[in-house]
Structure 1
Amino acid sequence: MKISIERAILLKAVSQAQSVVERRNTIPILANVLIEAEDAQISFRATDLDVEVVDRAPAMVERAGATTVSAVMLHEIIRKLPDGALVELVDDPRSGRLQVSAGRSNFSLATLPKEDFPVMASSEYSSNFSALAKDLRRLFDKSKFAISTEETRYYLNGVYMHVAEGENGRVLRCVATDGHRLARIDAPLPAGAENMPGVIVPRKTVGELKKLLEDDEMQIAVSVSETKVRFATPDISLTSKVIDGTFPDYTRVIPTQNTKRLEVDASEFARAVDRVATVSSERSRAVKLSLEEDKLTLSVNAPDSGAAEEELIVAYGDERLEIGFNAKYLLEIASQVDRENAVFLFNASGDPTLMREGNDTSAVYVVMPMRV
């Protein structure tokens, strides 16, 4: 294999691939990236056996071939080369080395046989459709904060992507919850997705997916089966196993009888929560909301460190209410609001609270209260 490629193009392709590689590996080949060059194109494939990413880039291919080399090492070398450099990659099968050169810089990297590299078996996908990058990004970005990190409840360690009944017909829906807060986000149902099986997309895959969804108007090809999900652009494809488990019936925890309505400027609310929470003990981070007509008082009382209080002018016309929340949860939910105002719907101080953006019900959040 002998190819020449621009440093910026190479860096983008390698950085996408190497981010999938686990830093601590008991299987040496999994620390490597598979490089394949053919027909004026080079591809970089990396996997941790659960997630596989393939990134393709245009290159001047003088001699086709394939090899594997340390993903992190190659990325670090390319990253440190000067902007605008033309990088040459030459694989010498006899010495088992990959020569990387740019200008006066030369590197010789150890390789492993390409035959040892595990390629994820291609799956028969039962559902194939296309969706706009901005729609998919909204679905995952707004829900991922609620993914559980508790390994024992593994079926909550991802985002549940499925087809559901919305207020105005069927929608593509993403849901995540950790038992303390829940996010439910809807998007228009793409053509071809009607019979898609519901799948739990793992946390790591959701994180990697963000890099595919940078261009708002890009059409993303989505393929789903009972065991795998695949997202692809013309240059990058991300394939992942899905979590083998049953996502709980989230509809039971979304309150429908909450009638006490608070409307507040979302960014002003988030800043006020952040300020008063400064004095709270890090463990509980409890903030009390005291509501009366058109006034919200946020307060924290931490006997070991101090107390704080702040008043906000809000739209509220129901009976007095005092309710406590984990400050971190409130901040995370408030930060999801793209519009100016956040609407909170309460029932009683011990019941789950609903939050949405104005009258928009395509993004709904639930947060459990705590005693203060």
Structure 2
Amino acid sequence: MKVTIERNSLLKTLGHVQSVVERRNTIPILSNVMIEASGDTVAMTATDLDIAIIENTNAMVITAGSTTVPAHTLFDIVRKLPDGSEVELTLEENDRLVVKAGRSRFTLACLDKEDFPVMNEGDMPHRFEIASEELKRLIDKARFAISTEETRYYLNGIYLHVATTEDGPRLRAVATDGHRLAQVEQDVPEGASGMPGIIIPRKTVAEVRKLIDETEGAISVALSDTKIRFAFEGVTITSKLIDGTFPDYSRVIPEGNDKQLEMDCRIFAEATDRVSTISSDKTRSVKLSIAPDNLTLSVNSPDSGTATEELAAAYSADPLEIGFNSRYLLDILAQIEGETVQVYLNDPSAPTVLKDIMDDAVLYVLMPMRV
């Protein structure tokens, strides 16, 4: 194999594929990226056995061939090469890949590509296209609430499904960690109406989200009960789905919260951030004392002291005191795009609902804390 490829093009491709490769691997071949050169393209593949990414990039292929080399090492080499340089990749007979650019020369040990695992996609009967902006919105509005607790593995991703609503079927993304819940929905893309409810793993969500920023057109999605494939321009990500049952999240979304608080979202977030400076690291709790047209945020830390801040707010129900984890509250407020946030409360121990006045297709639930 002998290939010449422009450095920036190679760096972009390696940047995409190497992020799938885990830093620590007990199986050596999983530390490698597979390089396959033919025609006028080079295909690069990386996998961790749960997710696989393939990207094609244009190159001058002098001699076709394929091999596997350490992904992070090759990425670091290319990253440090001069911008705009031409990179020559040559596979020698002793299973060494020579990387040349200008006066720089590197030799990397290769592993047999026959040992490189290939993910069997199987049949993916459900196929649809979704605009990159729409998929970006579904991910961004929900992923902050994905659980990182490995024992509840079925919460370690975004639950994507078609939900039945008063307005008909809707494509809905839900994520929760037991402390907060994010629900965002949109129109069902053509071809998605019969899809099963699936849980897309956290790592897959992150990899897909990175690629969306470099995509303008529609993204092709194909899925089965066990796998999902996202096809971008020149890049394909195939991933296993989480094999578990997502809990009945509708049970934690309260419907009887009749105390409504409305206020400027940015002012609310900034004030919460300020007073939480004094709170202890373990709880990060902040107390909301709500009275007609007034909200007082307060933090009382035995170690650091106290903090209070009063804000103007639209509220006409009975006075109420309730506590929240300030970090969780700030995560939700960061997703509100409108100027005004609507907060629906019931009592100090009941889940609280937050809504964006500019986007009625998004809903957040936050569990209170004792303060």
TM (norm. structure 2) is 0.98
Shift of 1:122: 2.1
The aligned residue for residue 278 of structure 1 is 277
Indicate if the aligned counterparts of 1:132 and 1:216 stay in contact, CA closer than 8 A. no
The aligned residue for residue 50 of structure 2 is 50
Indicate if the aligned counterparts of 2:285 and 2:325 stay in contact, CA closer than 8 A. yes
The aligned residue for residue 263 of structure 1 is 262
4+ residue runs of structure 1 moved beyond 6 angstroms? Answer: none
Indicate if the aligned counterparts of 2:337 and 2:358 stay in contact, CA closer than 8 A. no
Letter of the structure 1 residue corresponding to residue 36 of structure 2: E
Distance 1:35 1:167 in 2: 50
Q: Deviations over 1:105-133 (max 9, x none)?
A: 11111100110100101220020000001
Distance 1:140 1:200 in 2: 13
The aligned residue for residue 232 of structure 1 is 231
Letter of the structure 2 residue corresponding to residue 206 of structure 1: V
Letter of the structure 2 residue corresponding to residue 11 of structure 1: L
The equivalences for 1:319-358 within 5 A come to 319-358=318-357
The equivalences for 1:2-13 within 5 A come to 2-13=2-13
Letter of the structure 2 residue corresponding to residue 131 of structure 1: I
Shift of 1:200: 0.5
The equivalences for 1:211-222 within 5 A come to 211-215=210-214, 217-222=216-221
> What's the secondary structure of 1:88's corresponding residue?
strand
Indicate if the aligned counterparts of 1:133 and 1:215 stay in contact, CA closer than 8 A. no
Distance 1:281 1:31 in 2: 41
Distance 2:269 2:255 in 1: 25
Distance 2:136 2:358 in 1: 21
For structure 1, list consecutive stretches of 5 or more residues without a partner in the other structure: none
The equivalences for 1:54-65 within 5 A come to 54-65=54-65
> What's the secondary structure of 1:142's corresponding residue?
helix
The aligned residue for residue 122 of structure 1 is 121
Aligned: 1:206 with 2:205: yes
Q: Deviations over 1:170-200 (max 9, x none)?
A: 1111101111100001021100001011110
> What's the secondary structure of 1:226's corresponding residue?
coil
Aligned: 1:22 with 2:22: yes
How many residue pairs are counted as aligned between the two chains?
371
Distance 1:154 1:273 in 2: 31
Shift of 1:216: 6.1
Distance 1:330 1:122 in 2: 40
Letter of the structure 2 residue corresponding to residue 3 of structure 1: V
Letter of the structure 2 residue corresponding to residue 193 of structure 1: A
Shift of 1:167: 4.0
Distance 1:217 1:113 in 2: 37
> What's the secondary structure of 2:82's corresponding residue?
coil
Indicate if the aligned counterparts of 1:162 and 1:199 stay in contact, CA closer than 8 A. yes
> What's the secondary structure of 2:110's corresponding residue?
strand
Shift of 1:360: 2.9
The aligned residue for residue 162 of structure 1 is 161
| TM-aligned CA distance change 1:271 to 1:10, over 3 Å | same
Indicate if the aligned counterparts of 2:338 and 2:358 stay in contact, CA closer than 8 A. no
For structure 2, list consecutive stretches of 5 or more residues without a partner in the other structure: none
The aligned residue for residue 91 of structure 1 is 91
> What's the secondary structure of 2:297's corresponding residue?
strand
Letter of the structure 1 residue corresponding to residue 55 of structure 2: D
Letter of the structure 2 residue corresponding to residue 10 of structure 1: L
Distance 1:270 1:216 in 2: 31
Letter of the structure 2 residue corresponding to residue 60 of structure 1: M
Distance 1:198 1:224 in 2: 10
Shift of 1:333: 0.5
> What's the secondary structure of 2:275's corresponding residue?
helix
Q: Deviations over 1:207-247 (max 9, x none)?
A: 11112211463210001100001111121111110010000
Shift of 1:166: 3.2
| TM-aligned CA distance change 1:22 to 1:216, over 3 Å | closer
| TM-aligned CA distance change 1:301 to 1:155, over 3 Å | same
> What's the secondary structure of 1:112's corresponding residue?
coil
Moved more, 313-322 or 362-371: 313-322
Distance 1:170 1:274 in 2: 38
Q: Deviations over 1:131-170 (max 9, x none)?
A: 0011111111111111111111111111101111234221
Letter of the structure 2 residue corresponding to residue 260 of structure 1: K
Q: Deviations over 1:313-371 (max 9, x none)?
A: 12212211110000111010001111211111101111000001016321100000011
Indicate if the aligned counterparts of 1:36 and 1:42 stay in contact, CA closer than 8 A. yes
The equivalences for 1:167-206 within 5 A come to 167-206=166-205
Distance 1:139 1:123 in 2: 26
Distance 2:215 2:60 in 1: 30
Distance 1:52 1:217 in 2: 22
Distance 1:313 1:38 in 2: 66
Distance 1:97 1:344 in 2: 62
Distance 2:110 2:212 in 1: 32
Distance 1:222 1:326 in 2: 36
Moved more, 29-38 or 146-155: 146-155
How large is the RMSD of aligned CA atoms in angstroms? 1.0
Distance 1:240 1:228 in 2: 6
